[in-house]
Amino acid sequence: MATIADVARRAGVAPSTVSYVLTNRRSISPATREAVEKAIRDLDYRPHAGARSLRGARTRVLALSEPRDAGRYQSIGWRFVHHLSSAARAHDYDLLLLTGEDNVVDNLRRVAGSRLADGAMVMSLHTDDPRVPALRELRFPAALIGKPRNAMGLPWCDFDFAGAAALAVRELARAGHRQIAFVGSSDGEFQLGLNYAPRAVAGARVEAKAAGVHLHVIRSSRSHRTMVRRTRALLASDPAPTAVIIHYDVPALPSILRGEGYSIPEDLSVVVIAATPDLSSELPLARSELPVEEMTRNAVELALAAIEGDPSDEHRLIPARLTKGQSIAPPRRRS
Amino acid sequence: MATIADVARRAGVAPSTVSYVLTNRRSISPATREAVEKAIRDLDYRPHAGARSLRGARTRVLALSEPRDAGRYQSIGWRFVHHLSSAARAHDYDLLLLTGEDNVVDNLRRVAGSRLADGAMVMSLHTDDPRVPALRELRFPAALIGKPRNAMGLPWCDFDFAGAAALAVRELARAGHRQIAFVGSSDGEFQLGLNYAPRAVAGARVEAKAAGVHLHVIRSSRSHRTMVRRTRALLASDPAPTAVIIHYDVPALPSILRGEGYSIPEDLSVVVIAATPDLSSELPLARSELPVEEMTRNAVELALAAIEGDPSDEHRLIPARLTKGQSIAPPRRRS
DNA sequence: CTGTTAGCGCCTTCAT
DNA sequence: ATGAAGGCGCTAACAG
């Protein structure tokens, strides 16, 4: 593999000049720059990442932390990762994955200590996540994807789950619904303490109270059988809900509703919040999409800002936007 | 951050001695070892990754390559990544994610050239994947997860999709079925050229011919509407299939079948191949699970072997094992 | 505008 | 069983 010395020799300049061409840290005559760039191309030269980081420069690597158990419940994880990687590459950064270790915190310590990365992004935040104080103590630059109970001065960005839920309630209330069901995240997500799960419920509750509507709250389940049971109980309650808000993807739920003999939106209005692009549905559901691209772009920006030294506790709560599909109708008159 | 010199000073030994304690490359008296280890603990010393890699040692990082577009079709990806990360950590390796760039091959060149990783693992292989010749040319140690048409001497491991399909056909034939439907991967996966999609179909075809049964082959679709349409056409064909093999997860399919008035297994037997752990189904389906843990463990082993210098073109095709659920019954007599 | 040089932290050969 | 010293490839301070 070619080194900076090889390039310098071939271009007939000093190694430092090559370095300066690369880093743009002082002015270079067009002629020299041209010669150096040609030599770089000819030799397919790439700076040695280890040497760079040793010299005190950046590793240009961002660590991505996610607890091992989160993967089970969050199939969206992969979408986030793809977008995070793109966003990081846009700043010439790579992503180092920190999911495989039992102990999330040790893993961060290790990476920070051995300077494998310049900073971290933290996914699947629990309400009281041990990684938050650890990052603080390590003084390792980081951005949180998700809102912990206490960010302890770390920057974070998140989707406004509470706002999305409130918006859905408001929209349904405006259409005339007075009995609204809220199907929250799955049992597993609640049990892990994933912060967005209760936040969405809380948002819905507040707005329901303000709008004077009754909210029937249940959780979803990954077990189809359980889901059917809970749905039946929900629909059988008296007074029965005339609209359903679904937090996140419970792809089977519309099918279950139909299976129980309800048609959408005639018998039941439906709104999905924090939704993923939906290919499976027959009819365009009213929804607020989870803005994955925007979230990841912001997360990377915040992490890089933290690396640059701004110890900002900036946070970005991305507002929900409701796309009205064809799944909201006025409530059917009780017969 | 502490350096090796700090540790040496604190332990009252030479830096090289500390290094030897760390790398175990020569015998150390118990006393010195103890002293050094204490100093390491006291200072929470961690070797500088960049310095190590500069010195010619390993980076202890494995790159993980997946094309950007694959994420859309393979929700399983995240499971693989989690397991790969665990497997890598078991060998004290970290994972660097290569998904964010438009050009997968450039990305590999870059990482190999700048020595950000010691080797790579390659996911979502297309039948003729450009990464294979590129890795060959770069002489970058790598293991493929998936079987390309031509591995060009690179080691690979994969699930025996053809065998799994054949096994399913055989089992259904043995139960008396003569008209078997095969619901293959989705249009998207076929279009991307993901290698497992056609392999499973081919395996089913070969076994069907050998067993003298007729095979109705369709592809699945992520669109629920399309899926319903195709399923109806399939069930309406004459002679109608009495059993269905589902390649990979089409979670909605059992529901669709039931929705069309078929009960499982009375009206229709069902076998799932390359299945993911199923939480959503009412009844335990006959299935061969995709052995994710085993695949990822093997992939890491092969990659590390390649890094160690064995230029083996070893490959590991992991055989399918069928779990008989309660979804296979003899075909219903035509009425 | 460009060249020379020191040193980042580690491993390893050579010497003891 | 342990030390001393050189150099991996790069950047930045210092010279010109």
Cα gap B92→B249, rounded to integer Å: 33
Ordered by start, the domain boundaries in chain B are 4-55, 61-159+293-318, 161-290
Sorted by sequence, the CB contacts under 8 Å of residue A95 that are 6+ apart come out as A61, A62, A63, A64, A81, A84, A85, A88, B96, B97, B100
> Does at least one atom of strand C sit less than 7 Å from the CB of B48?
yes
Query: Can you give the pTM of this predicted structure?
Result: 0.93
Instruction: Report residue B64's pLDDT band, with 50, 70 and 90 as the boundaries.
Output: very high
What is the rounded average pLDDT of the residues B18-38?
Answer: 93
Beta bridge partners of B247: B273
Domains A61-159+293-318 and A161-290 fall in the same CATH topology = yes
Nucleotides in chain C near protein beta carbons (<7 Å):
1-5, 7-13
Closest-CA residue of chain A to B252 = A252
Q: Does B335 have pLDDT greater than 50?
A: no
Gap from A16 CA to D15 C1', in Å?
A: 14
pLDDT digits (tens, 9 = 90+) for A194-208: 889 999 999 999 999
Q: Does A331 have pLDDT greater than 50?
A: yes
Q: What CATH number does the domain located at A4-55 have? A: 1.10.260.40
pLDDT digits (tens, 9 = 90+) for A258-278: 888 899 999 999 999 999 887
- Spatial strand order of the sheet with A61-65 comes to A315-318, A156-159, A142-145, A119-122, A61-65, A94-98, B94-98, B61-65, B119-122, B142-145, B156-159, B315-318
Gap from A14 CA to C3 C1', in Å?
A: 6
Q: Does A334 have pLDDT greater than 80?
A: no
- Whether CATH 2.40.37.10 fits B61-159+293-318: no
Query: How would you classify the pairing of strands B94-98 and A94-98?
Result: antiparallel
What's the pLDDT score for residue B201?
A: 97
What's the pLDDT score for residue B188?
A: 87
Gap from B25 CA to D1 C1', in Å?
A: 13
Select the residue of B96, B99, B109 nearest A81 (Cβ to Cβ).
B99
Q: Which residue has the tokens 């409530």?
A: A331
Gap from A8 CA to D16 C1', in Å?
A: 19
What is the rounded average pLDDT of the residues A280-290?
Answer: 85
Q: Which of A54-68, A228-242, B237-251, B288-302 has the lowest mean pLDDT?
A: B237-251
What's the pLDDT score for residue A335?
A: 44
- The pLDDT > 70 percentage for chain A reads 96
| Residue A261 CB neighbour total at 10 angstroms | 8
What's the pLDDT score for residue A40?
A: 97
Cα gap B259→B26, rounded to integer Å: 70
Cα gap B181→B189, rounded to integer Å: 19
What's the pLDDT score for residue B72?
A: 63
pLDDT digits (tens, 9 = 90+) for B167-221: 999 999 999 999 999 999 999 889 888 889 999 999 999 999 999 999 999 999 8
What is the rounded average pLDDT of the residues A291-302?
Answer: 96
Residue A185 or residue B127, greater confidence: A185
- The pLDDT > 70 percentage for chain B reads 96
Q: Which nucleotide is nearest to A55 (CA to C1')?
A: C8
* Longest pairwise C-alpha distance within chain B: 91
Cα gap B42→B10, rounded to integer Å: 9
b/e per residue B214-239 (b: at least 16 CB within 10 A) = ebbebbbbbbbebbbebbeebbeeee
- Superfamily of domain B161-290 in the CATH hierarchy: Response regulator (3.40.50.2300)
pLDDT digits (tens, 9 = 90+) for A164-189: 999 999 999 999 999 999 999 999 88
pLDDT digits (tens, 9 = 90+) for A306-324: 999 877 789 999 999 999 9
What's the pLDDT score for residue B256?
A: 83
Nucleotides in chain D near protein beta carbons (<7 Å):
1-5, 7-13
Residue nearest to nucleotide C11 (CA to C1'): B55
In A, which residues are within 8 Å of B111 by CB distance? 94
What is the rounded average pLDDT of the residues A244-256?
Answer: 81
In B, which residues are within 8 Å of A86 by CB distance? 68, 99-101
In terms of C-beta density within 10 A (0-12 exposed, 13-18 middle, 19 or more buried), how is residue B174 classed?
exposed
CB contact under 8 Å between B97 and A85, yes or no, is yes
In B, which residues are within 8 Å of A84 by CB distance? 100
Q: Which residue has the tokens 């992520």?
A: B222
In B, which residues are within 8 Å of A223 by CB distance? 279-280
B53–A contact, CB cutoff 8 A:
yes
CB contact under 8 Å between A280 and B49, yes or no, is no
Gap from B19 CA to D5 C1', in Å?
A: 15
Cα gap A104→B89, rounded to integer Å: 12
What's the pLDDT score for residue A57?
A: 79
Closest-CA residue of chain A to B47 = A114
